[in-house]
Amino acid sequence: MLFIKPIVDFSIVQKSTKNSLLLIVSLFLSWQSLASNMEISEEGDWGDDTWVEEVASPWTFSGFTEAGYGYLLQHNIVDSHTSLNEITTRLNLDYSHESFDLIAKGELIYDDILSDLFWKTRELNIRFSPTKNTDVKMGRQILTWGTGDYIFLNDLFAKNWQSFFSGRDDQYLKAPSDSIKGTWYMGDYSISLTWTPEFTSDVYLTGERFSFYSPKAQDIVAPADNFIVQKTKEAQWAARIATNKNGVEYAFYGYKGFWPTSVGMTKTKNQPLQSYFPKMNAWGTSVRLPLAGGLFNAEYASYNSTEDTNGNDPFIANGQNRFLVGFEREVMKNFTASAQFYIEQTKNYDQFIAHSATPETEVKENRQLLTFRLTYRAFQQKLIYRLFTFYSPTDIDGYLKPSITYRYNDQWIFSGGANLFWGDKKHTFFGQHQQNTNAWLRVKAQF
């Protein structure tokens, strides 16, 4: 099971969708009455002209319950035609001390696709400053850096692609890792170093929810439980030096670890081929600045596939050069548009093709990608329309992510959207996901 590692494994509660729907409805009804009570008490506070002194407790508790449902819109070889069918209760508990912070975030999830109820720890960390100019964060945490929008170059921290494809909230695109992050501040400069003692890979597609192209089978596959990947327990390191000079942000990055997805095949004698995470080192740089009333960003990363430096090994991915430029600005009031252009250049391309068993379906030497994001906010930002599109002129495929979010009040948030993939060929990056095209709905109650 790659998707989730249950820490506390509860027994399966209910298998049928009908029952889980009933559970959702009853939970929400009981929540609604609680939420409306809260609203009235807040109104009372506001009615008084003075502030009601809040009890200064070091503890903060919050959370939400969210139900999500998604459906595959095309015929797919995966077992379940629901791409999302779950109810999640998130609990956040923070403790703030003068010299440290404790952060605990976890979720109780009933996932009907897995027919399983389980607990998942999202964050569990301590943050403190051992010296005046140093911050340390230790434990399970979300790590992010880099300038790309849904495109990652120097951010090699774990992503959850299953969440991204199934329409879960954006925050779930970032998967947590058990790491230590230290940051040193010196004037305008900061140096961050992250150490993840046990390599944390992306949450990639396994065929459980979404099918994908297998170069070995030369077809779309959905192996699900049969998708075996060899894990590694070695450490990964990432570093960043960042500075801001007159509003222009510069950063330099380094990485030592593994490819975040299993882009290698083991060649152990007398054993079937198995996917694994080959070693990879990377370095890169980025810049972000205001320009022409908007924001401009550029980023570069060099991926060195150290187990296949000359690119001769067809079982291990070649290194890459990744280039990104982007621009964002508000084109009209409440309407923001952004565009990015991205090139993924495969290093030692001639050797790569010469040693490939299937050169005709291999990626182009310079894979190009264009993205556009449109965001329109209406009704005091309560209604937000979003459209994100990926389009590859070299692969001739694409991915559209439209969504609408309606914030009814501070308690209730409704959203709906789709993940639409297209492409002529089943081996290209987005083309392989055409049958994974899905639509989804989510209802969230915050407390």
Residues that bind another protein (CB under 8 A): 39, 42-43, 46, 49, 51, 60, 62-64, 92, 96, 98, 127, 129, 135, 141-144, 170-171, 173-174, 183, 185, 190, 242, 244, 247, 249, 288, 290, 293-295, 328-330, 333-334, 336, 377, 379-382, 407-410, 413, 446-447
Kindly tell me which of 99 and 270 has the beta carbon lying closer to another protein.
99
CB of 205 to another protein, least distance (A): 21
- Sign of the Cα torsion 270, 275, 277, 280 reads positive
Kindly tell me which of 183 and 321 has the beta carbon lying closer to another protein.
183
Kindly tell me which of 160 and 262 has the beta carbon lying closer to another protein.
160
Kindly tell me which of 123 and 365 has the beta carbon lying closer to another protein.
123
Residue 244, amino acid? N
Please report which helix (H) or strand (E) contains residue 110, including its range. strand 100-111
Cβ proximity of 415 and 405 under 8 Å: yes
Q: Record the tokens describing residue 230, joined without a space.
A: 């060899």
CB of 197 to another protein, least distance (A): 19
CB of 221 to another protein, least distance (A): 31
CB of 63 to another protein, least distance (A): 7
- Show Cβ contacts of residue 92 under 8 Å, excluding neighbours closer than 6 positions: 60, 61, 62, 63, 103, 104, 105
Kindly tell me which of 113 and 173 has the beta carbon lying closer to another protein.
173
Q: Residue 149's closest CA among 2, 383, 342?
A: 342
Kindly tell me which of 22 and 291 has the beta carbon lying closer to another protein.
291
What are the DSSP calls for 47-91, one per residue? Answer: HSSSPPPPP--SEEEEEEEEEEEEEE-S--SSS-SEEEEEEEEEE
Whole-number Cα distances in Å, 117 to 2, 4, 8, 10, 12: 16, 11, 9, 6, 6
Q: For residue 9, what is the DSSP state?
A: B
Task: Determine how β-strand 100-111 pairs with β-strand 82-96.
Answer: antiparallel
Kindly tell me which of 243 and 309 has the beta carbon lying closer to another protein.
243
Q: Is 270 helix (H, G, I), strand (E, B) or coil?
A: coil
Distance CA 285, CA 252 (A): 4
Kindly tell me which of 17 and 129 has the beta carbon lying closer to another protein.
129
* Residue 285: exposure state from Cβ atoms within 10 A (0-12, 13-18, ≥19): middle
